Amino acid sequence: WRAELTPEQYEVTRNHGTERPYSGALLNEARKGVYHCVCCEQPLFYSDQKFESHCGWPSFDACSDDAIKYVKDSSHGMIRTEILCSQCDAHLGHIFDDGPTNTGKRYCVNSVSLTFRSMENTD
């Protein structure tokens, strides 16, 4: 993985790190498209699942079917649910039950764990 990822991508996805809030390139991405795992390219989230949460990381209210693995995380003195890519176990972020949409979910995701492919016409 070290040969395929940037140092920051490696730190976040393989060592369960976190990028600085409001620093991610995909935080303000507003085009229609699909967010993929940076490690294995599995589709994880769609643009219509994204919402502005003002937390500093891209947030989604749902994910692609069977794309996410959920793991109890008791690090840093907190009890949270970590989200991993179900295909390659890349650390993506965490899920919280405080989302403002009808799902009530907030998938809080590190930008560096994602790649984005636009579905907009670029002619």
Tokens of 35: 């967010």
CA–CA dist 59, 32 (Å, integer):
15
CA–CA dist 61, 57 (Å, integer):
13
SS3 12: helix
Q: Which residues are catalytic?
A: 108
